[in-house]
Chain A
Amino acid sequence: MATELKAAYRLLTERPLSLYAAAVLRIGYGLLYFVMLAREFPHRHEIWGPQSPWTPDLARQMSADSGWFTFLTLSDGRAYFEICYALALVIAVLFLLGWRTRAVSILFALVVVAFYGRNVLITDGGDNLTVLMAIYLCGTACGRRWSLDARRTRGRPEQTGTRQFAVTAVHNCAMLIIMAQMCILYGAAGLYKVQGGLWENGTALHYVLNSDLFRPWPALSDFMDGHHVLLAIAGYVTVLVQVAFPFSLFSKLKYVLLVILIGMHLGIAVLVGLPMFSAVMILGDAVFLPDRFFRFLAREVKARAITGNRAVPVR
């Protein structure tokens, strides 16, 4: 027992774990947020601006009730809003590049929280997960790999000491929280579906495919809708995989389930027309991939780039 405790203590404090996964989350969520802001740029006034049908006053009353802080309602001026929007775009880019990551991660979380709180009634599960991830990532050392910070500090001796000890412990706890959060997400999504009659009788996907706002490719949706048995199987697999996911984490089974979940989300992205939601979820799954996988990927990419550019075999 004592040795196990010691081993757990060392695991938690020896070194920051999953630094590449943390970097992937940082780059991914920074990029996705930038893409979202760019995509909604033509609609920004309608969604978050002073002229939105969800007026600043309505948002302020909602915030007063919920306690949600958003700097977007501090002024009703158009110029203020445009400046905030521009800053949000810049901060998303700085975050994905990993420049002064700790400070920028806090700014990024403030931005994500502010836009979410300005208009909660337009959000979906993807926005919800983005808020949680932005907050959790503040606790991680997500700027240690694949970042401008890493480039700047290359060659300097590794920091040690009390501060480093604290950073490591907090990072490892934050990564643990992110993993557990994904488990809570999938567990809840699965268990709530179990309660639904349409998931029970295997027809749920028929209704999804027939929802006007979630069928960007009507011919494809109708084609899929013609295969009742396959849809029933897909529906059952969805529920089973979601419920089983948290229990698979301690075995290799998790890789099989991750592949199915990613496939499921790719399906949602295209068929249901929710690419941003799907990307946010798939990225969350990346926290479960080991660093050796990301290093392998990086080596492959590098090797390809070199052989591609100069036709020189690597090693």
Chain B
Amino acid sequence: MRQPIGDVDHIEPEVADDAAAPEPPRPPQVARPAFVVICLAVTLVHLVLVFFFVAPANPISQRLNGPIQAWVSPYFEQNWLLFAPNPESNKTQILARTGWTTATGDHATSDWFDISAVDKAGTRHNPYPSHTTQNMLRRAWSAYQSSHPDGDESTSDGALLRAKYLRNLAVQRVTPHSPHAFEVVQVKVVTEPIAPPGQSPSNEPYTRVLPWWTVTTDGN
């Protein structure tokens, strides 16, 4: 097949440079090789730093920690742990209930409402589920869990952001089902192990009840 003119695939390599104009002063012959060396150096440095960012912690990545964080974070950050080291082996059910003060000054609460059921229903028979279905509540909970390993006190700014996010999400999903306007919301999570193949579940479901959270109008 003939390539149209202007297609570089078959261009002769040795025909170079702006030949038409009367010879301008040529840049010194080191400029081009130097440029190529810089390009290659950036390429190699990038790949090495990304490699050690992705690799498990080791003496090299610890020593290179400064440059790795400076170069890779945030835009080249990456995480290839989908279903690794192990796929999730629990089924998670997330529930929420609301609380309010009655006219007589008593505290009242709603029943627990399953705010994760809508995701399971949204996945069923859906060839292309939305991120709101597969990732939103699932990741909000796992982000909360990993930032609150020993209790529900938020011990860092990041942990506090994730707690507020989970609260906002719970408020958003439970609002249409609350029998009453509410001031506080509570989340509980039931984790049930998936049984190994051909067996019945080895462990009982585990329930984690989070503290009551005060609802704010702006979600902050």
Chain A residues at the B interface, C-beta cutoff of 8 Å: 9-10, 12-16, 19, 39-40, 42-43, 46-47, 53-55, 57-58, 61-62, 65-68, 113, 117, 121-125, 128-129, 131-132, 135, 144, 153-158, 160-162, 165-166, 169-170, 173, 176-177, 180-181, 184-185, 188-189, 192-193, 195-199, 203-208, 210-218, 225, 228, 270, 273-277, 291, 295, 299
Contacts and interface: CB of A to CB of B under 8 A. Distances in A.
Contacts, number: 237
12 contacts: A15-B9, A156-B6, A160-B15, A161-B18, A169-B35, A169-B39, A173-B43, A188-B55, A198-B87, A207-B194, A215-B123, A216-B125
B75 A68 contact: yes
A216 B129 contact: yes
Given A124-B134, A154-B5, A212-B91, 8 more contacts: A53-B165, A121-B139, A162-B17, A169-B39, A192-B84, A198-B86, A216-B123, A291-B9
Nearest to B158: A65
A160 B17 contact: yes
A198 B193 CA distance: 14
A177 B135 contact: no
B5 A157 contact: yes
Given A58-B220, A275-B127, A53 B132 contact: no
B169 A53 contact: yes
B36 interface: yes
Contacts of A65: 157-158
A214 B80 contact: no
Nearest to B5: A155
A214 B194 CA distance: 14
A215 to B, nearest CB: 7
Contacts of B35: 165-166, 169
Given A55-B218, A188-B80, A203-B197, A161 B165 contact: no
Interface of B: 1, 4-9, 11, 13, 15-19, 27, 32-33, 35-36, 39-40, 42-43, 46-47, 50-51, 54-55, 73-89, 91, 119-120, 123-136, 138-140, 143, 157-158, 161-162, 164-165, 168-169, 171-172, 194, 196-198, 218-220
A193 B84 contact: yes
A311 B128 CA distance: 38
Contacts of B43: 173, 176-177
Contacts of A218: 124
A207 B87 contact: yes
A43 B128 CA distance: 14
Contacts of A199: 84-86
> From DSSP, what is the main secondary structure of chain A's interface residues?
helix
A55 B32 contact: no
A216 B18 contact: no
A277 B220 CA distance: 31
A123 B136 CA distance: 8
Nearest to A135: B75
A277 B131 CA distance: 11
B176 to A, nearest CB: 14
Contacts of A177: 43, 46-47
Contacts of B17: 160-162
